[in-house]
Amino acid sequence: MPPLPNSSLTDAQRKAIADFKQTRHTDVFEGPFVPLVRSPELLRHVQRVGEYLRYRSALPRKLSEMAILLAARHWCQQFEWRIHAADAATAGLAADVIDSIAQGRRPLDMEDDEQVLYDFCSELFRNQSVSDITYERAVDVLHENGVIDAVGILGYYSLLAMVMNTARTATNDEVSHGLERFPN
């Protein structure tokens, strides 16, 4: 789903784009938001949820970005990975951890909070639920609001990944960050 020409936008689509720009404080309108404009009401709500989860969640930024990478890897979503692998590195997630996630392997040298988040997210994706032990460890380290925000991040970025996978959103091949390892 390529960008729509301005001349073909409905009033609702124009309003949704303006709302996006006002909420995100940017003119950048790419990735999942290009296909989402086909449903302007959904775009308006989705981008507000994303603004909270990406910038104000209860998780420290490093863990938030790690959860996003786990969602991108789960959905083999290269556009999402390209943006968030760089953000995760900037937030302090070790290159070895990022590379292991890209390869679909459990990272070896994670900090305690990273291990807890990795186990929680991986188990949730794999089993569509988490064991009592995994849940209790997550609550002990991330607290209840962190657990719920982690689930929100996984859900939000899964939605965006499904939108982009459906719309065949193009990636920047020059910055693949190892995504050629993702299965087709």
All structural domains of the chain: 10-54 (no CATH), 59-181 (1.20.1290.10)
> CA separation (Å) from 158 to 26, 76, 152?
23, 10, 10
CA-based Rg of the chain, rounded to a whole angstrom? 17
| pLDDT for 93 beyond 90 | yes
CA dihedral (31, 167, 76, 81) in degrees, to 10, reads: -10
Please tell me the predicted confidence (pLDDT) of residue 172.
Answer: 63
Given this model, what pLDDT does residue 82 score? 93
Quickly state the pLDDT bin for 26 (edges 50, 70, 90).
confident
Q: In whole numbers, what is the pLDDT of the chain averaged over residues?
A: 91
Tens of pLDDT, residues 41-90: 999 999 999 999 988 999 999 999 999 999 999 999 999 999 999 999 99
Q: How far apart are CA 75 and CA 165, in angstroms?
A: 8
Q: Is the pLDDT of residue 175 over 70?
A: no
Q: Please tell me the predicted confidence (pLDDT) of residue 144.
A: 98
pLDDT at 173 (0 to 100): 55
pLDDT digits (tens, 9 = 90+) for 7-25: 999 999 999 999 988 888 7
Q: What is the pLDDT of residue 177?
A: 47
For every residue of 84-112, DSSP letters joined together read HHHHHHHTT--HHHHHHHHTT---SS--H
pLDDT, average across residues 85-106: 97
Q: Provide the percentage of residues in the chain whose pLDDT is more than 70.
A: 92
C-alpha of 41 from chain center: 20
